[in-house]
Homo-oligomer: A and B are copies of this chain.
Amino acid sequence: MPSPVPDPSPNAASAHGRTAAHATALALAAAPALAELPLPARASLLRRLSRTLEENAAHLAAVAEDETRLGVERLRGEIRRAQVQLEMFADVVEAGAFLDVMIDPADPAAQPGPRPDLRRMLVPLGPVAVFSASNFPFAFSVLGGDTASALAAGCPVVVKAHEGHPRLSDLTHDLAAEVLPAGVLTLVHGRETGRSLVTDPEVRAVGFTGSTSGGRALFDLANSRPDPIPFYGELGSLNPVVVTPAACAGRGADIAHGYVASVALGQGQFCTKPGLLFLPAGHGLEDNLRRAIASVPPAPLLGRWISTAYRATLAALAGHPAVRPLHLTPEPTDARASAPALLTTSAEELRAHPELLQECFGPASLVVTYTSADDLRTALHTLPGSLTATIHGSEREDEPFVRRLTAALSAGRLIWNGWPTGVAVTPAMHHGGPWPATTAPLHTSVGSRAMARWMRPVAYQDMPEELLPAPLRRDNPWSVPQQVGGPS
């Protein structure tokens, strides 16, 4: 994920006149009514947010393009993606299984002692803070996946706008405010306001998408509270791609081409951008890789702070004694533009130099050659956790070899003969992974299980029917799935 941005608008918070404490007070006041909203009404809010995005897509994309330079076509696609997210969560809310209702009726004969009536479900945590991402001004920002999943879970959200697209954030928020009850979604600006959100007593959890350094600082802040709160951060990810000898021999040229396309997609500004390509030594693909990366034109990155960080990280990697350049694009005169690059080293050198294992956010990647299965596996074991890991192999020849590779890869999503960029919005998607890919390896920020981050279980013991929340009642007025008795 991108480097932290120097705050370009220190007066942004005062421009809105909204402090963290003011925002969370609004959220707290809105929390009970949102939590008690029947599920169809909650789903309806999400669907209306999707329609608002659709109806204002042209205007939204134009403002976003002006601020992010991601390209109008990509931005229109991303708006559609944000809509699909909102609609998926609406479906999940209506189905009701996300409440994870479990009911164990009283049992006087139970072991080790008589058992009361126990009814358990998930309830919203309360107000949550969401930090927008620079690289997804729609899908991971004001009305992005974190916000959508938190609203779906019944939590009011305070969004910290990203400094890379403040006007788009205001516009998106203002459109949402026409749909949502007061206090359900509040926007704040400014880095210090963001830090205050993390320590605000009313905030019950935080979602964050950004750099490892920035995320770690906020993670530490959340855990240093007198009452620590869950912090769901998506930080940096190397997303290794491993090519087996059989796959390299059989379709190496296609793989080289596809790899560079994935590296360069969106100018490499995806958290799933592959950062490491493991090829067998003597792969013979150097020219293919060089030609492919040389054909990627420099283009503006999300902001000056991104291109500055990109150039510095790339220079450090390219200047490392264990690294050899495959192709370096001359630095463009536009200071905001990228210079696509491929570097190479060996698995042995990678193991010896852990400083090479850092994300370079932008269109650059490191090709790593391995000499044997053991050499490869040993190197893979030294990698930090990633959001994704990809294997290009041949089903027939490589099974035992590949089986051991999958065990060596520490990632949230394992991809076979494909590319990690492009995260499908679908219930079974897992977008997460071991540290530093995320701060919370049990959770996902995409897919239906993303809602679980914003809820906690409560068990009701021998509670009279009329005092139970609707999903736990015997007459089940919301018709949610209730699992009664037995193991689960």
Q: A residues near B, CB below 8 A?
A: 32, 77, 80-81, 84, 88, 91-92, 94-95, 97-98, 100, 102-104, 110-113, 115-116, 118-120, 125, 219-220, 223, 227-230, 384-385, 395, 399, 402-403, 406-407, 411-418, 422, 424-430, 432, 434-436, 439-442, 444, 447-449, 452-453, 455-464, 466-467, 485-488
Contacts and interface: CB of A to CB of B under 8 A. Distances in A.
User: Which 3 A-B residue pairings sit nearest by Cβ, starting from the closest?
Assistant: A430-B459, A102-B428, A91-B487
Copies in the complex: 2
A455 B440 CA distance: 11
Contacts of A434: 227, 456
Given A102-B447, A219-B228, A414-B458, 15 more contacts: A88-B487, A102-B428, A104-B428, A112-B425, A116-B418, A118-B428, A223-B228, A228-B439, A414-B459, A415-B462, A416-B463, A430-B458, A432-B456, A447-B459, A449-B488
A460 B403 CA distance: 13
Given A395-B466, A488-B97, A488-B98, A120 B416 contact: no
28 contacts: A80-B111, A81-B112, A84-B111, A95-B487, A95-B488, A98-B488, A104-B426, A112-B425, A116-B415, A118-B426, A120-B428, A219-B228, A227-B435, A228-B439, A230-B441, A230-B442, A412-B457, A413-B459, A413-B460, A415-B462, A416-B464, A427-B485, A427-B487, A427-B488, A429-B459, A430-B457, A430-B459, A447-B459
B220 A395 contact: no
A35 to B, nearest CB: 9
A456 B92 CA distance: 21
Contact of A457 (B84, B407, B416, B449): B449
A413 B458 contact: yes
Contacts of A414: 458-461, 463
Which of A80, A230, A456, A464 has the most chain B CB within a 10 Å cutoff? A456
A441 B456 contact: yes
Contacts of A452: 442
Contact of A220 (B223, B427, B485): B223
Contacts of A411: 458
